Structure 1
């Protein structure tokens, strides 16, 4: 699914924000629907089956986290949180509840549009894409082969699993807990030092300059993101 014709549902009780988003998104080829409360948003999502949801956490009738949980009971639609809440804990809760990304108000429209494109690309993947490419980085899932600018990179099994999960979710932030649960299991969800060690090892192997990462970006206090290709 590309921007052209993609249907976006905006769930936000602030009229100026909805108006701003509606004008900007329509100018970029999106179809736009609106809801001013959590309940209306859930109802609109069920009725319209949007391709992407932009959701404010501070709604008049229910917390945005509850909206995420209700939508995730039956839908895998990409959800981007748009909120004034800047605390890391709010971001982590939203992402762990099933949101795909988080943008803090005030926001740059260019950044939001880039996050939307990444979420739509991820949703369009059929799940068995054998080769994932981000810039000069290529992950061949069928052959378990990783190359950077055509040069094969030798990874340990754990390094490979970590990179594979980041690549499968390119452009999206994955929380520490999500990565630890996936790679090491539920009993390791608090062992963030494991991630720091392995992310450091991966960066030394795949980044041109590990001190200024091009591929694996740190979301401070939240998790990591593999940059999405355009």
Structure 2
């Protein structure tokens, strides 16, 4: 329960006490001191009844506002649950990540590395609008598509929502740049591929 909801409930309780208390006692305590002869200036019984009803109505409305504040607080997602959900989605969307044995390791050409990047690009675009963990997902996709024969280096960029991954062969040659973009709430948006090393700014060359 948040502090604002508690404040609403405390105020509603005060209004309820005022409504149930003797109206004449309340009036004398709050307004009677303003008159030389308070008894001669007392409101009518109808006025006292109206004031009681008004306090009860206000107490009800304030209490309902407190309940509403509690419901808003309960609807907020738990960060731990959100991270667990994203991890599960990451595992579901990403291909397996086998490690090649010494007899299966290959030195990929640039065209082969680009083919791996294009395969990951296609997978990202097919999952457009799905939440994901961009780093682990893309890395698993690359390793899965290349059977572990392509190295991947994730680069920090100055562009919000943009991650760049530099793909090379096992000898760290023939670089290809894979650019993945996400929208609000870490959702897949688009990806692009270009030959050469990734820059960390916004001035990448024309890509596919």
TM-score bucket of the superposed structures, by smaller chain:
under 0.3
Structure number with higher strand proportion: 1
Structure number with higher helix proportion: 2
**TM-score, structure 2 normalization:** 0.20
Relative contact order, CA 8 A, sep 6+: which one is greater? Answer: 2
| Structure with the greater alpha carbon radius of gyration | 2
**TM-score, structure 1 normalization:** 0.19
